[in-house]
Amino acid sequence: MVEIGFARQLLISLAGPLLLVLLNPTGDTYVLSMASVLMGVCAGFALERRFVRFSCGGVWWKRAIRYLLGVFVLFGLWGGLKLAFGGMEPAGLLRFIRYVLVGLWGGVGAPWVFVRLRLAETE
């Protein structure tokens, strides 16, 4: 398997979804949302592999707490930013930021928090 360097991983994770947004001729907000979350998750995965190295194993109760905490914060970010940005302009840019942050939470934020709270080990 060919290993891709960290800088190249970040470039691909940013450029690929951004290209999808730019090639969206209708300005469909669903495309913007999905490309934005893809960007956040992919960049988050690259950052997580480089700096956190989260291990998803562990005892069942720690995994259950991670799941509940992760989902709670995810929906808190999604809903909280929706409320905070509601009615503000530029709406498209704020939607982009909101979904990138949601993706980053899933890709790097949650694993980092889980390791810091000792709910997970590192590899």
Encode burial over 41-58: b for 16+ CB neighbours within 10 A, e otherwise: bbbbbbbbbeebebeeee
pLDDT at position 22 is 86
Q: Which pLDDT value is given to residue 79? A: 96
Encoded tokens for 64: 């259950």
The owner of tokens 């704020």 is: 94
pLDDT in tens, the chain (123 residues): 678 899 999 999 999 999 988 888 788 899 999 999 999 999 999 999 999 999 999 999 999 999 999 999 999 999 999 999 999 999 989 999 999 999 999 999 999 999 999 999 998
Per-residue pLDDT, 24: 86
Confidence at residue 103, expressed as pLDDT on a 0 to 100 scale: 97
